[in-house]
Amino acid sequence: MKSDIFQRASFPCPVCTGNAKIRESEALSHTTRRLKYLCLDVECGHTWVAHLTYVSTLSPSALGPVHPMGPRKRPPPEPLTNPLIRPLTETRKPAA
């Protein structure tokens, strides 16, 4: 299923300036996607390819800068420290 952000990536038809819809989206890298558009004007019907590419940062991420080799991996969640909360895998003692 396509995400809404790609369905909303507006790009008017370069032939007739009509509204267009993204038909396919393919990741070329973690910073570039290849998008196939279809003009929604039935008298036009133009299809074309466009690239959506990260260019620069406007506000830095709290996780660090964009890395050219790939996205940052998030650290695993912290283990539970509350003694009242036990993991589901912990076995229970049978009731006496």
Task: Tell me the window of 5-13, 21-29, 61-69, 84-92 that interacts with Zn ion (CB under 5 A).
Answer: 5-13
Collect all residues with Cβ–Cβ distance below 8 Å to 9 and sequence separation of at least 6.
22, 35, 52
Pick the closer one to Zn ion by CB: 13 or 35. Answer: 13
Give the dihedral sign, CA 33/15/56/58.
Answer: negative
Pick the closer one to Zn ion by CB: 12 or 70. Answer: 12
Residue 2 CB, nearest approach to Zn ion (Å):
21
Does the protein bind Zn ion through residue 18 (CB under 5 A)? yes
Distance CA 88, CA 91 (A): 8
Q: Which of 30, 34, 36, 46 binds Zn ion (CB under 5 A)?
A: 46
Does the protein bind Zn ion through residue 41 (CB under 5 A)? yes
Distance CA 20, CA 38 (A): 5
Residues near Zn ion (CB under 5 A) are 13, 15-16, 18, 39, 41, 44, 46
